[in-house]
Structure 1
Amino acid sequence: MSRSPSAPARAAGPVQLVLLLVGSCMPVLGAVLLSPVLPRMEEEFAAVGGAEVLVPVVLTLPALFIAIGAPFAGVIADRFDRKRLLVWAMLAYSVCGTAPLYLDSLYAILASRALVGVCEAAIMTCCTTLIADYWSGPRRVRYLGVQTLVTTVSATLFFALGGALGAGGWRTVFWLYLVAAVVAVPMARFLWQPVRPEHEADEPVSAGRLAVPVLVTIVGGLVFYTLIVQLSYVLDDAGVTDSAAIGGITALMSLATAIGAGLFAKATRLGLRPLLAGEFAVAGAGLVLVGTAGSVPVVVAGAVLTGFGTGLLLPTLLTWAVDGLSFAQRGRGTGVWTSALFLGEFLSPLVVGGLAAASAGLGGALGIVGGASIVLALVVAVLLKRGSGQHAAAFGRAAA
């Protein structure tokens, strides 16, 4: 697509924001929609060797392929066209997402889920990059926080939808992937490829610029996803076996995450170093509470604390990583950040499972993850104070 240097700048508004926020929810759809129907899928494929392991992978496999594919999606977004990549990815997402409606092989379904992850990598990278392209300064910061808020709320909605649709059979939930094709139509009409500023060269993203934010984001993704996966097991061990009660407590944690994300724009006034350190400390303290709790009320309190901390954490990590990038670098930088986040999410159940096997069960594993998060809060505080002033400065300019 050609870019005319003299073309007037177009002003993005509510329509563009809504479309990009809806697009950002697609990876969440893939992550939580299938959770309620996994037992039925396992019954369906009980004759397949290793089905008890392979069926849960249907849920987690897209996250791995988001981690693998997002950097490549970022390169394509920077070198070609963010809007076109997004629209085509949304259409492909619908095709791959609905494939299990007619696939009878578990291995074929797994292959389709890998392709869903590739599509999600492009969708998440392009949506986040276009938000950063269309808006700047305080509005960019606010809308990145809103992105986390909306995706968090949608996770609760999609979980409920998955349970309701699953009553009609495990395949029924896959019809919901058609929504991406519907949304792709107004995206093609109302979104546009931004014009690269004339003074910007097509320069590579500095590895040093992103190294620290990316490494911290991997741990942030791991912390964020820990209770999303493990809370129901903790509650079951605590004697809460009613699915409605578990769903209500999970929704309460999601609400706390949404509140944290909603407060992000105002919280940026604190500055990057205290905000990031505080977020890891709060989330870690919540995990320690959950891991060591002797009663359900303490588990709930810890879950709410963790949810609030991670709700603030994700937009902070994203703003830290990508806000200072130029237009020519933004897609690649966003892709690398997205890869780091979903790598952390993919690793989370593996790390917790390994720690649980090596320590005193699930509670001990959660306590270790929480303690590590608190230690990281201290490390980040020292690291940013000594060597990453440029990151803090970029964050401060965004919030100003």
Structure 2
Amino acid sequence: MTMAHDLESDPKNSAGGRVGALLVLTSALPIFQAVLITPILSIVRDADSQHAFATFALRCIVAAPAVSVLFLLPFFGRFADRFQRRHILIFGLTLYAVSGVFIYASPGLISMFAGRLLLGVAVACVMTATASLTGDLFRGNERNRILGLQYAASAAVGMLFPIIGGLIALADWHLVFLFYLIALPLILPATRLPDRIVAAPGEERSFRALALKPLLGSYALLAIGTMVLWLITIQLAFHLSGLGYTSPVTAGIALGTPCLSGILVAILYGRVKRHLSFRTIAAAAFLLMSVSYGAISVTTSLPLLIFALLLAGAGFGLNQPNCSAWLLSQVTTEFAGRAAAGLTFAVCVGQIAAPLIYQALITSIGSAACFAVVSFACLLVALAAFFKSRLAPHPDDKLAARSAAGIG
């Protein structure tokens, strides 16, 4: 019996519950570090005498972890497959806390940039180890439930901690970086994670032995979904301002709205997956995004905009756990680290590509038309996923159909 089945034989047992809770918490650390720094950017800039340089430097500081993640993911994916994943996680958690203390102790812009690069190393470790451990230790419905909770936790952090970080910054913005010490209490439970059998040197199979084509759909859907999400992140406040809703409170409420529906839908993802296939869920997710962005492109009513954003959040809450679950269902444990690293790489690609694409679109056709174009693109993705599930059914599609019919 594998350790995955040991934990899942009774999903409510204390060992499985503790491990699941740990992996949900570690999955929120990457977004935690990002949202904490956002509220203090203007304060840090104003504290520097050279505002122009400080503005440019802060943009680099915000992006620094993503740079480290992109460059190091291939290595940490391989390390996670070659060594015990819990060791990678423990190293990442330790480095996460150390980077926060380093930035707090040396708050200059250059030191902040170096500390954030170091933080990127920690994030690469934590993201890769968390995703691959989730694939190792859980199967089927329980894995789907954990993946849904992971997205819900990240969405909750993204909604709440910008406010908390802003309140802390009113007293002293340096204190925000001490919040990175939250990783330390997670180290002890991480040391108790079960070991897995790893291949001896020279016996491990090359990643080329894994069929990559079935994984590309998960990577593509996650990258596209990230790009769609980032249109709200980088443009919604400007779009609302153009409609006459200039209050930052209105923008804050609007930006937090997708998180609310995303949390709810992600929590329910495990139940949804029992009845629908991966492709059908992907089609539903992108259909929700399409309807939402189409409504945003044409309406000027704030209540309708809020409703549209709720639909978008539901789509995001379905897409991310679905991509992770789909990928992990297709790889064996010996390849899970490198496959999971690919998911993180897809997210980074979406985040980097989005500002470049949207800047060109918004400049040439305007904000409303940009939302309309993205809505149409989401509709095409939804139709492709739907017809793919009908014309070339995956084994997962057949199982979902049997479950929905109450068979087997």
Note if 1:112 corresponds to 2:83. no
CA shift, 1:345, in A, is: 2.4
Match of 2:129 in 1: 126
**Aligned-partner Cα distance in 2 for 1:323–1:354:** 37
Q: Counterparts in 2 of 1:225-374, with a 5 A limit?
A: 225-268=230-273, 269-360=275-366, 362-374=367-379
- 1:15 alignment partner, one of 15, 18, 23: 18
Q: 1:9 to 1:378 in 2, by over 3 A?
A: closer
CA shift, 1:356, in A, is: 1.2
Higher mean C-alpha displacement, 295-304 vs 44-53: 44-53
**Aligned-partner Cα distance in 2 for 1:344–1:33:** 21
CA shift, 1:149, in A, is: 1.2
Note if 1:142 corresponds to 2:148. no
1:356-393 deviation line (CA, Å, top 9, x unaligned): 12222x33322222221122212233445556736756
| Amino acid paired to 2:371 | L
Match of 2:12 in 1: none
Match of 1:164 in 2: 167
**Aligned-partner Cα distance in 2 for 1:327–1:35:** 36
**Aligned-partner Cα distance in 2 for 1:7–1:54:** 46
CA shift, 1:274, in A, is: 2.1
Match of 1:193 in 2: 195
Give the paired residue count.
Answer: 393
Q: 1:10 to 1:202 in 2, by over 3 A?
A: farther
Higher mean C-alpha displacement, 351-360 vs 382-391: 382-391
TM-score, scaled to structure 1:
0.88
Match of 1:101 in 2: 104
SS at 1:13's partner residue? helix
Q: 1:293 to 1:68 in 2, by over 3 A?
A: farther
Does structure 2 retain, via aligned residues, the 8 Å contact 1:319–1:395? no
Match of 2:217 in 1: 212
| Amino acid paired to 1:192 | P
Does structure 1 retain, via aligned residues, the 8 Å contact 2:88–2:125? yes
Q: 1:73 to 1:210 in 2, by over 3 A?
A: same
| Amino acid paired to 1:153 | A
Does structure 2 retain, via aligned residues, the 8 Å contact 1:145–1:264? yes
| Amino acid paired to 2:221 | V
SS at 1:98's partner residue? helix
**Aligned-partner Cα distance in 2 for 1:36–1:69:** 28
**Aligned-partner Cα distance in 1 for 2:99–2:89:** 15
CA shift, 1:276, in A, is: 0.7
Q: 1:333 to 1:30 in 2, by over 3 A?
A: same
1:12-40 deviation line (CA, Å, top 9, x unaligned): 42111111111111101122111111111
**Aligned-partner Cα distance in 1 for 2:325–2:303:** 34
Q: 1:9 to 1:304 in 2, by over 3 A?
A: closer
SS at 1:167's partner residue? helix
Q: 1:49 to 1:390 in 2, by over 3 A?
A: farther
Q: 1:249 to 1:53 in 2, by over 3 A?
A: same
Match of 1:89 in 2: 92
CA shift, 1:192, in A, is: 2.6
Structure 1: where are the runs of 5+ without partners?
none
SS at 1:86's partner residue? helix
Q: 1:8 to 1:141 in 2, by over 3 A?
A: closer
Does structure 1 retain, via aligned residues, the 8 Å contact 2:283–2:383? yes
Higher mean C-alpha displacement, 365-374 vs 84-93: 365-374
Match of 2:40 in 1: 37
TM-score, scaled to structure 2:
0.87
Match of 2:185 in 1: 182
**Aligned-partner Cα distance in 2 for 1:168–1:75:** 43
Identity among equivalent positions (%) equals: 24
Note if 1:61 corresponds to 2:67. no
Q: 1:6 to 1:387 in 2, by over 3 A?
A: closer
Structure 2: where are the runs of 5+ without partners?
8-14
Q: 1:172 to 1:8 in 2, by over 3 A?
A: closer
| Amino acid paired to 1:40 | I
**Aligned-partner Cα distance in 1 for 2:29–2:133:** 16
Higher mean C-alpha displacement, 69-78 vs 300-309: 69-78
